[in-house]
Structure 1
Amino acid sequence: MLKLNLNIALRNLWKNKGFTLINIGGLAIGLASCMVLLLYVNNEWNYDKQFTNYQNTYVVYNNIKASDKTFSVRITPNAMAAEIRAKIPGIAYASHSADYGSQLISYQDRKFKKQAIAADPAFLKILDYKFVKGNPNTVLREVNSVILTKTLAKSLFGNEDPINKTVKFDNKESLKVEAVIEDVPANSSFSFDYLVPWAFAEKMLPDMKNPNWGDSSYLTLIQLQDQSFFNQINAAIRGIFVRHDKNSNSEAFLHPLAKLHLYGDFENGKSVGGRIDQLRILLVLAFCILLIACINFMNLTTAKSGKRAKEVGVRKAIGSSRNALVFQFITESMLISLLSTALAFALVEISLPYFNNLLGISLKIEYENWKFWITLLGLVFFTGVLAGSYPAFYLSSFESVKALKGLSVKAGSSFSVRSILVVFQFVFAVCLIICTTVIYQQLNYIKNKPVGYNKHNLIQIEVSGKLDNQKKLDLLKDRLLKSGAATHVSFFNADLNFNSRNTNAVSWGGKSPNESTLFNYRSAGNDFVETMGTRMVAGREFSAQYSDSNRVIINEAAVKVMGLKHPVGTTITFWESPVVIIGVMKDFVSASAYQKVAPMIFHPVTRFKAEVVLLRLNEAENIGSSLAQVDDIVKSMNPDYPVNRTFMDESFEKKFAEEQLLGTLSNWFGGFAIFISCLGLLGLALYMAEQRKKEISIRKVLGASTYSVLALLNGDFIRLVAIANVIAFPLGYIFASKWLSGFDFRVDISLLPFALAAVLSVIIALLTVSIQSVKVAKANPVDALRSE
């Protein structure tokens, strides 16, 4: 029976090659789009789930109450892990680690700046990375030791065995290689190229040895013995700050490792989502594209139902039951689904390298993973049944006597269903056009919104090696200015485009004793304002002409929070030391461009050493030659380290990575959804034109113009698209408004997205239908009427 059904299915597919190609092509594009989106969703969903006991692993978060808000951060004091391990039962492991950032590591003449993390032995018990070489039970105990990732080991040693060989850290300390682990997966929240022991970090920074509950700068991971301990441990950990400082405004809590990546947004100390919202959008997008492709199949199959009426009548006459006919048509749809899947695989393999490069990710099809094949079979079965269900029940309902007499099958109900399905396709397409337009409007609005400083020709150079002292930096500044390559040079204590440390240890006259305000504190060098291309609202900036060791600068947001009418000259307390405000700087964006600028306080760079050099290129000189001069000067003063520089406008772009990703995916796959919808319209236009060929010929004989024939053929389809627009407009507005509500600064939803969606959908529908309509309208009526 199955063999007979397959033979009939193959014969029908071959007989109707045009419809078969449209069906298979549409389903293949829908499946390929769905597969790529599901691969991305799966990659994001599996973040940090590659570890054996990830379900029992938690990150200790810190809720800091300040400025009538609660800020949730995943940094804690250095004493947190030891305190939890010693005093709270139910803990299997507790680990603290510190992100060292990009640090030089070398072997002989091979030198690389790679990401380093300082961690204790428990770190690798909790995060059980696969060991390639070395003993996992003895690592990170010896002070001057190091663990390399496989790729770094290959870069440093080639084919040599790295174990027990010595590498140089920052050109100063010798470290013995004690193990090699597999590379950290791309979908991991902890990115590093090598690990050094926590004891080594204490050796380099002796202050780390002293328990300090006032400095939250470290990551604390814990692993429970069992889930049954969670409530008990989470309750015990909440008061851990207050037990060490009665005046503390911090409260610790546990956040699951499995939710670290997807649920990273917090409001008032509670998780409210994050990237999971983006995944939900993409998941809906994936299945809606597949649904549109299935709708095409339904429409085209039922549209040519008249041609199969006699086949149904004959099979019923010789005894076929309706169930047998349903099975026959489901078999056909399953066969098309399988053929489409084969083509979809080819499309996915061709397109994946492009998408990986476009999105900066590394998706791949895991052919060896049994879960992949089960998902794929489920997808094929779902597509086949969904696409074939309505046509199967509709076609099998024909009355055999009427069909065999040659009477035309009334398709009024089927046409109304097809109309509904076409409307649904274009509702989704129009919604996508509206939402994608709003996403790009929001991105452009934020990118073009004044950031408070001039990003153009502003460069940031990382401080390392011999430059790691102020005298060398002052000499570098002098040489850069004399070269003419730079017009202004200053220093800063952290990457300008990302958040720095925060403190609430700021007091001023009139401050309420119960008030806690969180300040973002920075170190800035002389001429910082000039170099940044910003301005002082009042007072002056730091200058070599003055002794500014106990002077600070604040921004406009800080003035508002403090309520100071005449801030310049005011003495405030910063970290229990009196300091004098010498200037007020214009607010500038340093953290999120979507949120209001935080209160900021700047002290001289002499208090905290500079980590970056800021310089403004001379616009009168050629940029290429200026960059070469800058590199040569930095390299001559620091020959053992590569020059790590970035343009600030390029660095600023990284703030919008998530929104750009969502916009890019919506744009591409929205285009695919529209293309699939157009395939369906084209197929229906082909069928309708064929059905009405004689009617059109008679109209032309009676004097109808080509324009009137085109209007007749296109009218029904344009009406459906218009209805789709009416339905899609409020839906698109709701979706766009909900997405925009997550930003403090957001664009107003204008008429442009809706007008663009309406015009595009009508033009696309007109062009698609007219491809066939023009051909029919211009055909010689004699060809269609000669048989009458």
Structure 2
Amino acid sequence: MLRNYLKIALRSFWRNKSFSLINILGLALGLTCSLLIFLWVRDELSVDRYHANGPQLYRVMWRQLSDGKRMAMPSTPALMAQELPKKFPEIVRATGYTNRHAHMAFSVGNKINKEVGDWVGADWFKLFSVPLLIGSPETALKSPNGLAISRKLAESYFGSPQAAMGKSIRIENKDDYQVTAVFENLPPNTSQNYDFLLPWEDFMKRQHTWASGWGNPSPWTFVQLRPDADVPAFEAKIKHFLRSYLGINSKNASQFDVELFLQPFNDIYLHDQTENGEISGGRIDYVRLLSIVAVFMLLIACINFMNLSTARSAKRAKEVGIRKVVGAERSWLITQFLGETLLLTIVAVLVALLLVGLLLPSFNQLSGKQVAMPFAEVDFWVALGCIVAITGIVAGSYPALFLSSLQPVRVLKGLLTIRPGATRFREGLVVFQFVISMLLIIGTFVVYRQVNFIQTKNLGFDRENLIYVPMEGDLLPKYATLKQELQRMPGIQGVSRMDYQPGDIGSNTTWVDWPGKDPTVSVGFAQVSVGYDMDKVLNMKLMGGRYFSRAFSTDSGGYVINEQAAQRIGYKNRTAGSPVGQPLTFWGKPGKIIGVVQDFHFQSLHEPIKPIIMWFGENNTYGNLMVRTQPGQTKQALASLETLCKQLNPKIPFTYSFADQEFQRMYKSEQIVGTLINYFAFLAIFIACLGLFGLASFTAEQRTKEIGVRKVLGASVASIVGLLSNEFLRLVVIAIVIATPISWWAMDKWLQGFAYKEELSWWIFGLAGLLAILIALLTVSFQSVKAALMNPVTSLRSE
């Protein structure tokens, strides 16, 4: 029996080659999109999941009540990792982590390169599953001048991990460190990015003495809890742990307080955003969005298959009638048609696997991933088998039930008619397809506009022709010479320095005071040190006062603030309504406000502009060099900059970055997801049009004699095309009406993640609707015109 079913299926496929090809193409495209998204989602969900202690690992979060607002951040005092295990027996071990991904110059003999690494606690290799090739987890990071490096660095500098052990590496042409361990290269599915690790004691005592204070949150703190620990109870115990260290008591806790809470380590990568002091989302939103898109793409492909199969049902009707007359049971017919569908699905899956293999390199380049087809993993084949079975059953169920229900007497008499309920069901499927297509079209428009808005928004400073150079090695003591020489070179418009990049200022403080400040209220300010001429280099606009100037020796005690800070401080000058000239104490150092600059974006556009204080740092021993080039002369200026830096700092490789590129990196996720949605939206529309084409074929097939009668009675081709097309346009209009409020709600919710965004406009929905109507009209016009041009003699010959 199975052999006969297979023969019938193959004959049917061969007899209807175009129909089979369209069906396979539609299913293959839907499966290809779904598989690509499946691989992307699978990779996202696997990030950081390889650590053996993962279920017991947590990141300690800092929640702060300041100025009546709640905010949460992963930054904690550097001393916390040492103190927590002493106070709480639930903690097995803890470690600090700077999370800076510092680019530092390594030199061994004549070989000098920039490498990426962090400072971590001594128990790092006990908490995290990073295999050590050489060395011991107990001693790898114990020594203050110890250094753990990756296999890649060991092979690069010394030839092998064994040869690297015990050797000396000079870092930043300043300090020598001894290799005490070599660890395996980190896997691709990790959110951590380092090729070397330095001891926490080096961070605390030698490199960052400010970290010894409890009021300076900056590093991260990871803890490993006992497997039997009651996590909610432990969170309640550590909630007010910092109060005694920060001098918070019951009197001022209502106005300013700091709380601790835990975030599971496995959630950090996907849940990296906070709102109102709580974890609110992050990349998990895009995982969910694309997962829904994958399901919808597969549904569209299945619906497309149903419509095309039903459209060709008349050609199989007599076959069904004869088979029933000779004794075939309905269950056998259902099995046969489902089997044919599964066979088509298997062919479509094979085509999809081929397409995925061809598209995967481009997809990886687009998404920034390194995913591969996991042929060796059981879960992939299980998932693929489930997709085949579900797709085959969903796509083939309706055609199988429909064809097997036909009455042989009516079929063999040529009286095949379609019940109104069945017609409405198929129309409902087309409406569903175009609802999804409309959602994707509108989503594409909104995401594109928002990404374009981000890329073109005026940040309050000019990021064009602006270059960042890290101040390191001999450049630090030679900054005055460097700046003087650069200003003489052609192509360079201005030079200054800042301890952070202007679009990524993350340091905050509450140690700010001024006359009239409410002592019970703590206000958070961002802070950054800047050098002379920064206003000219960034092209910032002064709203009052002046910027730091060499003409005023007292400027070392002056402060420049933004409009938000001026508004929050609340000074009111009788003449100008400006705080310029008023006293301000920052970090315990009294001074005066000398200027107010226009608000500028120094953080992501996801965040509103906050108050910021800029303090004088021309002579700081750290930071970034800011160089503005003349328009059109960036290449020449960059060559001059590189030559001079190599002369003054020969032991450290010259590195730089462009401000506009750094800014775009902040929104890499939005750009990637936006591009993916563009491609998937196009494919979803294409597959939906195949379904619409199927329904148009079915309708034309059912109304062949009606069209013939109309033509005999004088109906024109245009009137018949309009008659057939109007039915489909009605379905598209219904889809537009349904999709518009849903898409408005979904896009508005997505845009709420940005503090600064493009508003939703009615024309977006109107344009999307018009585009859907035009696509539908073009799709059905082919079948409509074909039916209208048919010779009525052919269609009415049997009457």
Q: 1:325 to 1:782 in 2, by over 3 A?
A: closer
2:510 to 504, 507, 515: 504
| Alpha-carbon distance in 1 for matches of 2:638, 2:612 | 31
Offset of residue 175 of structure 1? 2.9
Determine if the alignment matches structure 1 residue 192 to structure 2 residue 199: no
Whichever residue aligns with residue 11 of structure 1, its letter is R
Structure 1 equivalent of residue 130 of structure 2: 129
- Which residue number corresponds to residue 61 of structure 1? 61
What amino acid is aligned across from residue 643 of structure 1 in structure 2? Answer: F
Contact kept in structure 1, 2:330 and 2:404, CA below 8 Å = yes
How far apart, CA to CA, are the structure 2 residues paired with 1:129 and 1:147? 11
Give me the whole-angstrom Cα distance separating, in 2, the residues matched to 1:410 and 1:205.
81
Greater alpha carbon shift after TM alignment, 32-41 vs 631-640:
631-640
State the alpha-carbon separation in 1 of the partners of residues 402 and 782 from structure 2: 29
Q: Which residue of 1 aligns with 2:283?
A: 275
2 CA distance for matches of 1:320 and 1:151? 68
Structure 1 position 596 matched with structure 2 position 618 = no
Is residue 2:630 matched to residue 1:618? yes
Verify the 8 A CA contact 2:465 2:628 in the aligned structure 1: yes
Q: Does 1:667 align with 2:678?
A: yes
- The separation in 2 between residues aligned to 1:3 and 1:590, in whole angstroms, is 70
1:320 alignment counterpart: 328
Q: Deviations over 1:622-650 (max 9, x none)?
A: 33222222222222222222222222122
| Paired position in structure 1 for 2:588 | 576
CA distance in 1, matches of 2:676, 2:326: 52
Q: Does structure 1 retain, via aligned residues, the 8 Å contact 2:311–2:697?
A: no
- Alpha-carbon distance between aligned partners in 2 of 1:572 and 1:159, rounded to the nearest angstrom: 57
Range with bigger deviation, 335-344 or 654-663? 654-663
Q: Report matched runs for 1:519-668 at 5 Å.
A: 519-547=525-553, 548-566=555-573, 567-606=579-618, 608-619=620-631, 622-668=633-679
Q: Tell me the distance in 2 between the aligned counterparts of 1:160 and 1:197.
A: 19
1:424 to 429, 432, 444: 432
Q: Single out whichever of 298-307 and 523-532 deviates more from structure 2.
A: 298-307
Deviation at 1:13, TM superposition (A): 1.9
Equivalent residue number for residue 352 of structure 2 = 344
Could you list the per-position Cα deviations for residues 734-782 of structure 1 after superposition, in whole angstroms to 9, with x for gaps in the alignment?
Answer: 2122222233323221122112111111111122222343444445556
Spell out, residue by residue over 1:3-61, the C-alpha distance to the aligned partner (whole angstroms, 9 max, x if none).
43333322222222111111111111111111111221222222221111211100011
Aligned match of 1:765 in 766, 776, 780?
776
Q: Match of 2:146?
A: 145
Residue identity (%): 39
Q: Pick closer, same or farther for the CA change 1:779–1:304 going to 2, 3 Å.
A: closer
SS class of match (1:591): coil
- The match for 1:476 among 472, 478, 482 is 482
> How far apart, CA to CA, are the structure 1 residues paired with 2:228 and 2:732?
54
- Displacement after TM superposition at 1:127 (Å): 1.2
Distance 2:665 2:789 in 1: 54
C-alpha displacement of 1:427: 0.8
TM-score (norm. length: structure 2): 0.94
CA contact (8 A) 1:134 1:163 kept: no
Change (3 A) 1:634 1:27: same
The answer to which of 678-687 and 66-75 deviates more is 678-687
Q: 2:72 is matched with which residue?
A: 72
C-alpha distance in 2 between matches for 1:651 and 1:521 = 20
5+ unaligned residues in a row in structure 1: which ranges? none
Residue in 2 that maps onto 1:251: 259
The CA deviation string for residues 428-471 of structure 1, in whole angstroms up to 9 with x for no partner, is 101211122122222333433321112221221111221123xx
Structure 1 distance, partners of 2:459, 2:58, is 36
Show the counterpart of 1:173.
175
Secondary structure of 1:146's match? strand
Where does 1:683-694 land on structure 2 (aligned, <5 Å)?
683-693=694-704
Work out whether residues 423 and 720 of structure 1, in 8 Å CA contact, stay in contact via their aligned partners in 2: yes
Paired letter, 2:76: T
**Which aligned pairs between 1:182-581 and structure 2 lie closer than 5 A?**
182-202=184-204, 204-205=206-207, 207=209, 211-247=212-248, 249-469=257-477, 472-547=478-553, 548-566=555-573, 567-581=579-593
In the alignment, which residue of structure 1 is the partner of 2:252? none
1:558: Cα distance to partner?
A: 0.4
The 1-side partners of 2:638 and 2:620 are apart by: 28
CA RMSD of aligned residues (A): 2.2
Higher alpha-carbon deviation: 11-20 or 59-68: 11-20
Q: 1:781 to 1:134 in 2, by over 3 A?
A: farther
Distance change (3 Å), C-alpha of 1:624 and 1:163: closer
* Distance in structure 1 (CA, Å) of the matches to 2:138 and 2:340: 58
Return the letter of the residue paired with 2:650.
P
Find the aligned partners of 1:271 and 1:200 in 2 and give their Cα distance. Answer: 32
Cα 1:679–1:109, aligned 2, differ >3 Å: closer, same or farther? farther
Counterpart code for 1:475 = T
Structure 2: distance between partners of 1:87 and 1:191: 31
8 Å CA contact retained: 1:22, 1:683 = no
Is the CA contact 2:605–2:754 (under 8 Å) kept in the aligned structure 1? no
SS of 1:521's equivalent?
Answer: strand
Alpha-carbon distance between aligned partners in 2 of 1:349 and 1:107, rounded to the nearest angstrom:
42
Amino acid at match of 2:334: V
- Secondary structure (helix, strand or coil) at the match of 1:756 reads helix
**Is the Cα–Cα contact under 8 Å of residues 121 and 200 in structure 2 kept in the other structure?**
yes
Question: 1:497 and 1:54 mapped to 2: Cα distance?
Answer: 33
- Describe the SS at the equivalent of 1:523: strand
Q: Which moved more, 1:343-352 or 1:260-269?
A: 260-269
- Counterpart-to-counterpart distance in 1, 2:513 and 2:278: 28
CA deviation after TM superposition for structure 1 residue 159, in Å: 5.9
Equivalent residues in 2 for 1:674-685, closer than 5 Å: 674-685=685-696
Aligned equivalent of 1:81: 81
Which one-letter code corresponds to 1:212 in the other structure?
Answer: G
